[in-house]
Amino acid sequence: MKVIQLLSRIQAESDGVANCGRNLSLALDRKVDLEVHILNVKGDIPPTLNVKLYDIKYFPKLLKPLNALCVSPQMSKGVCNAMEDTDIIHAHSLWMMQTYYAYKAVKGKNVKLCIHIHGTLSPWALQRSRLKKQFSSIFLKQRKALERADLLIASCKEEYNDIRNYGLKNPVAIITNGIEIPELPSSSVKKEKTLVFLSRIHPKKGIDTLLKSWKNIQDMFPDWNLQIAGNDSNEYATSLKNECAALQCERVKFTGELRGKEKYQFLANASLFVLPTFSENFGIAVGEALACGTPVITTTGAPWSGLTDNNCGQWINLSVDNLTRALEDMMSRPVDELARMGQNGREWMKRDFSWEEIANRTIRSYEWLLNPDQIEKPDWIYID
C-alpha cells in the first residue's frame, strides 16, 4: 500500500496538526510500507521517513496572504509526480494549498482521497478569518475537495457533528489523535506548586480568561505561580503581557516555546495544567500533560469529558467564574493528591491513546476504503 501524507509543515511541536501528522506517519511507517510524505517546510525530519521537502515561496508584503495559504508550486508538482502507484493521498487540515493540491492530483485517477479535518470545521474556527476561508472555499476548491473526499477523519464525536452540520455526507472515521508517553523516571519528577499553560498563544486558547481568573485567586495561593508556555513573539502575546500588567497579576511568567524533553519536564514538574480553550477538535496539550502525570482543567470546548470519569481533572464550561472556582478547588488540594490524579491520567493515556493503536485503526480504515466489498466496515466509520 502506498500512502502519501500531505501536510503544510511537520516540525512545529506547538502545532497540533504537525504533531499529529508527524507521529501518525512514524507509527504507520512501523506498520506498513509508507513510501512518501510530501511536506513544504524544512525541518528536522525523523530519518526513518521517506520525505520530500518543499519550501513555501515567501511573497512580498503586498501578496502576504499567499504565505498564510502555504502556496508552493514545487509542492504541487511534487504531489502530481508522486501519484504513480499511489493508493491513498491523506491530506491534513483545510484552508491551505495542500488540500487543493491533493484534490487536483486525484482528478481522473484511481486514488482515494482522505481529508483529516483537524478542527477546521468547528463553529468557532469557521467564524475566524472568514475572508480567508471564503476565498479558500471558492478559489482553492476546499468545498469541492471535501465533497470529493472518499473518507473524512474526525478526532471525536463533536467533530463528526461539525462535519455533518457543514452539510457533508461522506463516510467519516472517528479516530482520536495519539499521545506520546514520555519516559519519566520518578527521581526526575519534582512536583511544584505551579499552574501551567502550554499551547499556541492564540485568542482561541482563552489565556485572557486564565489571567482574569488568576487575578481572582492569586492572593489566596501566595505559594503558587503561573507559567505560560508558547511562542510569545507575536502581537497577541504582547497584548496578553500588557493585560497581565494592567490586571496586576503576580508570579506570572511567559516562558516562550518549549520543545522535546524541556517541554515534558515542564509539564511533569507542574502540579496542575490548564487549557481554558474556546474550541479544540482534540487538544493535544491536554493529553501531553496527562501523559506527564499532571492533572488538567479544561473546558467543554475540548473533547475531554473523560477527565471526570478517570479522576484526573475537571471539565468545565468556559467563563471567568467557572475557571476561578475550578482553580480554587484544585489548588486547595494537597500536592500529593494532585500527583495521584495525574498518575490516573498517565495510566489512561497509556491505555487508550497509544500511537500504535491509532495507526492500527488508520490502516484498517485505509483497507476498508480500498476494498469496501471485501473488508467489513470498522465500527468507527460512519456512512450515515
Q: Show me where the domains of the chain are located.
A: 3-178+354-382, 186-352
pLDDT at 363 (0 to 100): 92
Q: pTM of the full predicted structure?
A: 0.75
Cβ contact 213:323 at 8 Å: yes
Do you know the residue count of the chain? 384
Cβ contact 56:72 at 8 Å: yes
For residues 195, 290, 281, 51, the Cα torsion angle rounded to the nearest 10 degrees is 110
Cβ contact 126:159 at 8 Å: no
Q: What angle do CA 19, 197, 266 make, to 5 degrees?
A: 75
Q: Do domains 3-178+354-382 and 186-352 have the same CATH topology?
A: yes
Q: What is the pLDDT along the chain (384 residues), one digit of tens a residue?
A: 888 888 876 555 546 677 788 788 878 877 666 554 555 444 455 555 555 555 555 455 555 666 677 777 777 887 888 888 889 999 998 888 889 999 999 998 999 999 999 888 988 888 877 777 777 777 778 999 999 999 999 998 989 999 999 999 999 999 988 888 898 766 556 688 999 999 999 999 999 999 999 999 999 999 999 999 998 888 999 999 999 999 999 999 999 999 888 999 999 999 999 999 998 878 889 999 999 999 999 999 998 999 999 999 999 999 999 999 999 999 999 999 999 999 999 999 998 898 888 989 999 999 999 999 999 999 999 998
Distance between CA atoms of residues 71 and 74, nearest Å: 9
Return the residue matching grid coordinates 473523560: 306
Cell numbers of 104, please? Answer: 487536483
- The answer for residues whose C-beta is within 8 angstroms of residue 356's C-beta and 6 or more apart is 27, 30
Distance between CA atoms of residues 59 and 258, nearest Å: 29
pLDDT at 206 (0 to 100): 96
Cell numbers of 358, please? Answer: 491509532
Buried b (16+ CB within 10 A) or exposed e, 2-29: bbbbbbbbbebebbbbbbbbbbbbbbbb
CA dihedral (196, 261, 25, 362) positive or negative: negative
Fold held by 3-178+354-382: Rossmann fold (3.40.50)
Looking at domain 186-352, which CATH architecture does it have? 3-Layer(aba) Sandwich (3.40)
